[in-house]
Amino acid sequence: MVHYHRYHQPRKAATDEESQNLVLDCSSSAYCKRTRPKLLSFLFLITFLSCCYVLAPLFLGPSFSLSLLYSPGTENDGNQDGVDVIVPKCSPVPRGTICCDRSGYRSDICVMRGDIRTNSASSSIFLYTTKSMKNVSRDVKVRKGEEDEQLQHEKIKPYTRKWETSVMDTIDELNLISKRVNLGTFGGCDVLHDVPAVFFSNGGYTGNVYHEFNDGIIPLYITSQHFNKKVVFVILEYHNWWMMKYGDIISHLSDSPPIDFRGDNRTHCFPEATIGLRIHDELTVDSSLMKGNKSIVDFRNLLDQAYGPRIRGLVHDEERKAQEKLREQVSSSPSLEISQLEHVKQQVQENPWKKPKLVILSRKGSRAINNENLIVKMAEEIGFLVQILKPERTTELAKIYRVLNASDVMIGVHGAAMTHFMFLRPGSVFIQVVPLGTSWAAETYYGEPARKLGLKYIGYEIHPKESSLYEKYDKNDPILRDPTSINKKGWEYTKKIYLDSQNVKLDLRRFRKRLHRAYEHTLFKSKRKLQHQPM
């Protein structure tokens, strides 16, 4: 399940519209008199700045440009669409230095550049400079007679839930140590790499598909995609099952096999290292923070590339088995001509594509749809071809991707499995059933990210009568009437009551309206696609 530990944004200042309303409210003459001098002063300031900007080239020369008026933290980066890209702190980093950005709420990021060497036994990454080199980042006074001089020592836990103390306490910590040493006094490299490294942890909530994508895979894409696969991943708390599950994606982010930091005691040497992963928001990529304005759609395109070969292999195997079955039928039924069998086969293959495909991600246990069979029947009556998908923890992701990538609509009850909305093609429909007590989480973790991916998102918030909790509690109980008050008591209450002890029985009349909206959307999308096809 998703852990609803989320920081609270500070209250935003009044918007421009609100500010204008305050200034222009002349309900009292005294107030208007007080605001006029401020308005005149403001107009004078604007006029003065405008004149300075117009006359500046005469005094400052042609190098002066509008870009000087922007924050030094942004640059255009040569993007054709002219969208400014915010350059992160510690990018780039001078050789021989360690730079750490601890300003983010979600994660810390450190960058090292120079002669970098790993030492897993001491949980350390060393950055060496020789005494003949000029030290530009020294923050410790030199002590006479010392052979090795420690210049800088940083500590970091490379996991993307920095604000959540309980889980961060379980994450291994790394020592980043910069030293100035005599030439030839430090050991050699067991493995010399000529490309940068990215260090990150696979601890914490790894094992939950939402956290695997939100806390790991997407931040890994954000942090490493600009290396164009010329990068080595060094993993703390390495899991073989994780590599089997996400190996297809990892191979499209790096040309090199990942390194198990704890399991590989050799000294690995790198010219540059990033420790920690950058993360933007829930299941998304902020294009303004990415080189080349990459977005969550680009990440989804990467999934297409990663799973494409495996899916084509699955299709090939199915076609081969179908041909074998066909030959067996022909041999057992001589009177049945091959042409007839081919016709039957073709009909079976073509008919499904005449109807829009709807996939229901079925749950067992908590938050299951108790009248799922009636939902299936109703969807089929509307005109959908319905498929029930029951993903298990061990289900191969390529198989899930294949089903959802070929579907038009996905339905599911709020939970970690909703992460699979990313497998839908942009323009598809995602219907999330929202149980009692999960409205904020459903919108924050899946609804908003789905829209950013370009999906048609439809949230279906159940009424108390549609919850199995209606049979356990009095109809006036706050659990049914005021879930927000229960959630304020803490995560343990939300989990115990709304996540672990609630199933849903959908109101067919209400839910039919959502299905009709989804059906009309798919028909409109199909017609528009046909109109744009070349004649």
Tell me if residue 410 falls in helix, strand or coil. Answer: strand
pLDDT of residue 329: 72
DSSP code string of 172-226: PPEEEEEEEE-TT-S---SEE-SS-EEEEE--TTTTSHHHIIIIIIHHHHHHHGG
Contact criterion met (CB below 8 Å) for 528 and 38: no
How many residues can be counted in the chain? 535
pLDDT in the model for residue 65: 32
For residue 451, what pLDDT is reported? 98
Tell me the average confidence (pLDDT) per consecutive run of 10 residues in the chain, 535 residues long: 54 37 34 43 58 45 31 38 65 90 96 96 94 48 57 97 96 96 77 98 96 98 97 97 96 98 97 97 96 95 95 83 75 60 51 80 95 98 97 91 97 97 97 98 98 98 98 96 96 96 98 97 83 63
pLDDT reported for residue 341: 52
Instruction: Find out whether 107 and 277 touch, Cβ atoms under 8 Å.
Output: yes
Cα gap 67→60, rounded to integer Å: 14
pLDDT value of position 175: 98
The two structure tokens encoding residue 283: 């299941």
| Residue 22: per-residue pLDDT | 33
User: Would you say 356 and 526 are in contact if contact means Cβ atoms under 8 Å apart?
Assistant: yes
Strand partners, 410: 359, 430
481 contacts: CB under 8 Å, gap ≥ 6: 464, 475
Enumerate the H helices of 406-471 as residue ranges: 439-442, 448-452
